[in-house]
Amino acid sequence: MDGGESLAQAVERELYEETGLEVRCEGLRGWVERIIPGFHYVILDFDVAVTGGLTPTPGGDALEASWVPLDRVPSLETVSGLVDFLRDHSVLG
């Protein structure tokens, strides 16, 4: 987060920087902790509504940005625990 920035503003800015998508941050979907030696991450996941164009473009740290059908997500290479999180929070069936 940047100084003076709300959490919702940070979500919107980061998503724009990483994907080029303009969004409005909506409710908190859920959170998860990841603890590895020397680090403790608290990850907050939000629902967003796309308010601008629908074509994602990778930027920042992202190497790729694309829309993927939800039923394909489990077959993709993702960070550890993401698919379980999405299932636990009713994003994936």
Task: Enumerate domains of the chain plus CATH numbers.
Answer: 7-88 (3.90.79.10)
Residue 58 three-state SS: coil
* Sign of the dihedral through C-alpha 65, 67, 71, 72: negative
pTM confidence score: 0.85
pLDDT tens over the chain, length 93 residues:
999 999 999 999 999 999 999 999 999 999 999 999 999 999 999 999 999 999 999 998 888 999 999 999 999 999 999 999 999 999 998
Roughly how many angstroms between the first and final C-alpha of the chain, as a whole number? 32
Strand partners, 42: 33
* Closest of 40, 15, 39 to residue 25, by C-alpha: 15
